Homo-oligomer: A and B are copies of this chain.
Amino acid sequence: MATPRRDPLTLEVVELIGTVVARYYEEYEQAAARHSLTGAQARVLGLLSLEPLPMRGIARKLKCEPSNVTGIVDRLEARGLVERRPDPADRRVKLAAPTEEGRATASRLRDSLDFAREPLAALSDEEREVLRDLLKRMLGESVL
């Protein structure tokens, strides 16, 4: 494992990444709020719009304790965006799945987020390719 670098260029890039992270996070929360959702609720709804998941699976994706998921799904369910279904294969398991309205909300949320990420529009196709490759290299093999 390499030693972290402290040269001015590295520090400048670190600072820029910090700015990207802060802005992205802020805009994510705002997009969620426009749909009267908290960030956590929006993340869960987004996950479930890809595929229904057991409560435990949601906790793994969110990297939080399973007990927290109960409340988040409760609130989404109370708003009619998500429903709990039994798992035919294991009666202990409850599968959380988006309702029709939940899927629609998730879709609109995704559009909001694309809008939030619009800064990418400032780059040409070639520049996006370079950026993609640099980010991939930065993130390492774990992403591949």
Interface, chain A (partner B; CB < 8 A): 1-6, 9-10, 12-14, 16-21, 23-26, 63, 114-115, 117-123, 125, 127-132, 134-140, 143
Q: Determine the distance from Cα of A127 to Cα of B5 in the docked complex, in whole angstroms.
A: 14
Work out how many copies of this chain go into the complex.
2
Q: Which residues of B contact A18 (CB under 8 A)?
A: 24
A-B contact pairs, 18 of them (CB 8 A): A9-B129, A10-B120, A14-B114, A14-B120, A16-B139, A17-B24, A17-B117, A18-B24, A20-B139, A21-B21, A21-B24, A26-B63, A119-B139, A122-B137, A122-B140, A131-B131, A131-B134, A134-B134
From the candidates B4, B121, B127, name the one contacting A117 in the complex (CB within 8 A): B4
Interface centre among A14, A24, A120, A143 (most CB of B within 10 A): A120
B135 touches A127 (CB 8 A): no
Query: What are the 10 tightest A-B residue pairs by CB atom distance, in nearest-first order?
Result: A2-B121, A16-B135, A4-B114, A119-B138, A21-B24, A131-B134, A21-B21, A4-B118, A13-B132, A14-B117
Given contacts A20-B139, A131-B131, 14 further A-B contacts (CB under 8 A): A4-B114, A4-B118, A4-B121, A9-B125, A12-B132, A13-B135, A16-B135, A17-B20, A18-B24, A20-B20, A20-B135, A21-B25, A25-B25, A122-B138
Give CA–CA (A12, B120) in the complex, Å. 11
